[in-house]
Amino acid sequence: MKLRCHLPGAKCPSYSHQGEFLLNNATITDLLPDLRRCANCTASDPPTLPAFRDDLIQIASITLIQKGPMFDPKHESGASFGTFIRPRICGSLIYAKRRELKHLTRESPESYLVPDANGALNIENEREIELIQNFPDANAECFVDELIWEVSVANFEKVMPQLLKALTHREQQVFTYIREDMPNCEIAKMMKLSNPRISQLVRNVEQKLRKGCQRFRLIE
């Protein structure tokens, strides 16, 4: 899984840092521009949530403060600080946005969208409402993202063959579809199984992968 900046003409920020990550004001200040870029990226990626940008900046900062000190510059993977922290920050922001979008579908999604001069929502806004209403369930279908964000992508892929050994053939199929961002209902159609059965398989995969990642000390 590759990170991709959604801001026009931009790349994911470098989060340039050398050696051990020491939590101090100077370090945080140096990385603020990168934190803001990631927050802007997540807020502007459709369905857009411009009013949520300040919250996303706070979430990005908290993730940096919590996860930054865990960086090991001598790790065998040779990962840079940017490689280590980007998926964690991006994952936290995406997960927070998904929760907010789910909240909006229960409340009033239109409150975040801008009406035209006549007070009506334009076609683009209507598309965004549709995206919000059909956004995947963060709790039911994005646990793979959570796992990948929690660990270095390189390390996750390195132990993937061993993790997959714990899965049954059907669970491996489900995992493959989830990595392709396919929702549960579509997986059910592809595998010709009921939605409840797919939900159970998803839970099985989640539990087994979490235990495997903990065994390899990739997540806490």
- Does residue 107 share a domain with residue 181? no
- Peptide bond preceding 47: is omega within 30 degrees of 0, i.e. cis? yes
Q: Is residue 1 part of a domain?
A: no
pLDDT computed for residue 200 by the predictor: 92
- Of 135, 163, 182, the domain-final residue: 135
Domain boundary among 135, 162, 196: 135
Q: Are residues 148 and 70 in the same domain?
A: no
Q: Is the model more confident about 156 or about 20?
A: 20
pLDDT confidence band for 173 (50 / 70 / 90): very high
CA atoms of 116 and 124, how far apart (whole Å): 11
Residue 77's pLDDT band (boundaries 50, 70, 90)?
Answer: low
Q: Over the stretch 19-34, which tens digit does the pLDDT of each residue have?
A: 888 888 888 889 999 9
Q: Decide if 9 is inside a domain.
A: no
Q: Are residues 98 and 187 in the same domain?
A: no
Both 61 and 112 in one domain: the answer is yes
Q: Return phi, psi of residue 108, to 5°.
A: -145, 95
End-to-end CA distance of the chain: 21
Which residue, of 110, 135, 160, is where some domain finishes?
135
pLDDT at 37: 92
- The parent domain of residue 213 ranges over 138-220
99 assigned to some structural domain? yes
Residues 106 and 155 in one domain: no
- pLDDT value of residue 151: 52
Contact (Cβ atoms closer than 8 angstroms) between residue 6 and residue 45: yes
Does residue 192 sit in helix, strand or coil?
coil
- Where helices occur in 68-194 by DSSP H, the ranges are 81-106, 123-133, 138-141, 143-150, 153-164, 169-179, 184-191
